[in-house]
Amino acid sequence: MKTLKKKRRVQVVAIAALALIAATALIGYGMRDGINFFRSPSEVVAKPPAPSEVFRIGGLVEEGSLKRGEGKTVRFAVTDGGASVPVTFTGILPDLFAENQGMVGTGSLRDGVFEASEILAKHDEDYMPKEVVNALKEQGVYREPDGS
């Protein structure tokens, strides 16, 4: 009688382990395209990613670099104070997008130009993504909000 209970217990543990492995594999498979790594402009210049790699870049929109082209194409540069990366984006920019403001773009680097598929701008005067703040602090150009 005891051996039957032990066999059942081993079977239940084995089935649970297989279910856990299968669930982990499905989660990993589902997230394979949804994971984007953040990089600062200095990191992109120092070690450019492969043209097929999709990643996020963040920093400040460089003053004097914003140029609107034909149609909805916009060109500008993003900087973290240490390096600058040219960006091109075709689409409608967020309302709060402006020079010297924080932004995060998703896309890929081709021929030294970041081709953005999505641009996010800060949503109020105090917000900036944590990754951008950390990168700007490392470069020594981050200014704390005045709190007023």
Give tens-digit pLDDT for 4-63.
888 999 999 999 999 999 999 998 888 776 666 788 888 889 988 888 888 889 888 888
Positive or negative torsion for Cα 57, 63, 66, 67: negative
The answer to whether position 120 is within a domain reads yes
pTM of the model: 0.62
The answer to whether position 144 is within a domain reads no
Buried b (16+ CB within 10 A) or exposed e, 127-138: ebbebbeebbee
Range of the domain at 5: 1-35
The answer to whether position 148 is within a domain reads no
Is the per-residue pLDDT at 68 higher than 70? Answer: yes
pLDDT band with cut points at 50, 70 and 90 for residue 145: low
The answer to whether position 145 is within a domain reads no
